[in-house]
Amino acid sequence: MTNIAVAKGDGIGPEIMDAVISIFEAAGVPLTYEYVDMGKWVFDKGYSNGMTPEAQQRIETLGILFKGPMETPKGKGVKSVNVTARKTWNTYANKRVFQTLHGVDTVFSRAGIPIDITVVRENIEDTYGGIEHMLTHDVALSRRFITRPGSMQVIRYAFEMARKKQARRITCGHKANIMKITDGLFLECFREVALEYPEIQADDVIVDDLCMKLVTRPDLFDVVVLTNLQGDIVSDLCAGLVGGLGFAPSANIGDHICIFEAVHGTAPDITGKNIANPTALLLSGLTMLRHLGLMEHAAIIENALLYTLEAGFRTGDFGDRSKPALDTTAFAQAIIAHFGRIPEHGAKTIMPNKPVTPTIFKLEKNPLIMSLEKEQESIVGVDMFVESAEQPGIVAEKCLRHTLDLFKLVTISNRGTQVWPKGSVFTNLVNQYRCRFESVGDAPLTQTDIIELYKRLSADFKICSTELLNMWGDKKAYSLAQGQ
């Protein structure tokens, strides 16, 4: 028997979790369940991360968390417990599988177009770092972190998973045409890893074009890997292709801890009515069983689920409206009654169990993931983000007073668009400028030089933020302004 942590969640979470565990118990799944305290009610008790210290300790000991949907209190300045859990335990790959389910009516099922798409979403970085600041009363900043080690982790996982499922194609969705440094790094890592898997067709698509293609020809795609925010949006789009979030499972994979959960929310409008659809959580649980090597149990339960859907059994959110809807408990009992039945479509092969015991890691310190620096680093300038309600020419005059002999003022931009030394009077301005100073003659600078410039500029401006202009070898590690 394998012991796993279970958090029932908020809203409909306890109802659908009880239904899924009843199915597992009826199938004789060799798991024992240790219930842990997580969710909104834990926030309300004063635990800012949405879990008790005892819950965190047990999850870190057991290595597997099966969780229901959880609500984050609104307007209290607290972070989402779902995102906090994924980031705290470095579950860097979010795997979501979207398949045609016969009995779940969609535009594509009616057209006879089969869908089998696996979205792998980077789960730790991007804007989900939640690092935000008000630079002025009018200007908010969100920092977007894309790292080489983090990108390599999730992309390598996606290729390994694609190889195991014998995928024909893996696609990187990105916006590297605009975000040339951040998405450019993610795409660079994808292309680097792709060279190690020559048997898999690897290509990339700009994310807006990807969305259009997904809703016109979803059958062309197999595995799609994306950054965090783009992956979140695209995975919900894919859920819509197969019937909605009620059929969208999710696995959060890390080296030490894995979390299995439904994608959908807590549905407070139907909480306590026993009418919620448990399918997404059940599919997430089946992913967990396969992760633990319980292949036979997973196949038996999934075949029963597919047979149940084909036979027209349904909860109130989908299916043939001329047939009565079952409540949550009755739907689970229908699946149990169909153990041993084989669906007409998509039947899973019954393979023997190969139980895997989660490895218990006793870490003494935080793992540091870092790639080797291949080229010499140098500082060649700085971007000073300053608050000002003055015109660009006046801002430039003030900056030029303080350039010293080491710096030259190269450009001033506003919301990313150059407004000095050239620009357009039709460009609307906000009260925050980026003033770019580069070294005279491209000579390397020191941080002391930057601090001295900062001190001088602070006589005329409130400096909201700074960013060093780095070079690695002859490669610029910063972007140009729009129009520069």
CATH number at residue 303: 3.40.718.10
> Do residue 225 and residue 323 come from a single domain?
no
CA triple 12-319-119, angle to 5 deg: 65
pLDDT score for 76: 56
> Do residue 66 and residue 185 come from a single domain?
no
Residue 450, judged by CB atoms within 10 A of its CB (0-12, 13-18, 19+), counts as: buried
Q: Using the predicted structure, report yes or no on whether residue 374 has a pLDDT greater than 80.
A: no
Tokens of 18: 């009880």
CB atoms within 10 A of CB 475: 8
The verdict on residue 23 lying in a domain is yes
> Do residue 353 and residue 388 come from a single domain?
no
Q: Using the predicted structure, report yes or no on whether residue 360 has a pLDDT greater than 80.
A: no
CATH number at residue 390: 3.30.70.1570
Q: Using the predicted structure, report yes or no on whether residue 125 has a pLDDT greater than 90.
A: yes
> Do residue 300 and residue 312 come from a single domain?
yes
The verdict on residue 181 lying in a domain is yes
Rounded to an integer, what is the distance from CA 361 to the centroid of its chain? 24
- Dist CA 215 CA 238 (whole Å): 8
- Dist CA 224 CA 167 (whole Å): 11
Given a contact cutoff of 8 angstroms between Cβ atoms, the answer to whether 130 and 78 are in contact is: no
The verdict on residue 484 lying in a domain is no
Number of domains in the chain: 3
Of 359, 366, 367, 356, the closest CA to residue 63 belongs to 359
Q: Using the predicted structure, report yes or no on whether residue 482 has a pLDDT greater than 80.
A: no
Last residue of a domain, one of 371, 404, 429: 371
Q: Kindly report, residue by residue over 191-216, the tens digit of the pLDDT.
A: 999 999 999 999 999 999 999 999 99
> Do residue 295 and residue 310 come from a single domain?
yes
Q: What is the mean pLDDT of residues 440-452?
A: 91
Task: Assign 361 a pLDDT band (cuts: 50, 70, 90).
Answer: low
Q: What is the mean pLDDT of residues 123-139?
A: 93
Sign of CA dihedral 10, 312, 107, 343: positive
pLDDT score for 23: 98
DSSP secondary structure string, 224-245? EEE-HHHHHHHHHHHHHHTT-G
Q: Kindly report, residue by residue over 71-89, the tens digit of the pLDDT.
A: 876 655 667 888 889 999 9
> Do residue 328 and residue 449 come from a single domain?
no
Domain that holds residue 306: 1-92+254-371
pLDDT score for 358: 62
Q: Which residues of 265-280 are buried (b: 16+ CB within 10 A; e: fewer)?
A: bbbeebbeebbbbbbb
Of 378, 356, 347, 360, the closest CA to residue 447 belongs to 378
- Dist CA 480 CA 282 (whole Å): 48
Q: What is the mean pLDDT of residues 144-169?
A: 96
Last residue of a domain, one of 228, 252, 276: 252
CA dihedral 88, 91, 97, 103 (to 10 degrees): -40
Of 180-189, 277-286, 441-450, minimum mean pLDDT range = 441-450
> Do residue 245 and residue 205 come from a single domain?
yes
Q: What is the mean pLDDT of residues 342-360?
A: 85
- Dist CA 84 CA 80 (whole Å): 6
Number of residues that this document lists for the chain: 484
Of 248, 265, 245, the closest CA to residue 11 belongs to 265
> Do residue 435 and residue 399 come from a single domain?
yes
The verdict on residue 471 lying in a domain is yes
DSSP secondary structure string, 338-388? TTT---SSSPPP-------PPPPP--SS---------S-EEEEEEEEEEE-
Rounded to an integer, what is the distance from CA 163 to the centroid of its chain? 22
Q: Using the predicted structure, report yes or no on whether residue 178 has a pLDDT greater than 80.
A: yes
> Do residue 99 and residue 245 come from a single domain?
yes
Query: Any residues with CB less than 8 A from the CB of 192 and at least 6 apart, and which?
Result: 152
Last residue of a domain, one of 342, 371, 400: 371
> Do residue 248 and residue 261 come from a single domain?
no
> Do residue 151 and residue 226 come from a single domain?
yes
Q: What is the mean pLDDT of residues 392-398?
A: 97
Task: Assign 170 a pLDDT band (cuts: 50, 70, 90).
Answer: very high
Q: Which residues of 214-237 are buried (b: 16+ CB within 10 A; e: fewer)?
A: beeebeebbbbbbbbbbbbebbbb
pLDDT score for 78: 64
The verdict on residue 482 lying in a domain is no
pLDDT score for 64: 96
> Do residue 99 and residue 86 come from a single domain?
no
Q: Kindly report, residue by residue over 210-260, the tens digit of the pLDDT.
A: 999 999 999 999 999 999 999 999 999 999 999 999 999 999 999 999 999
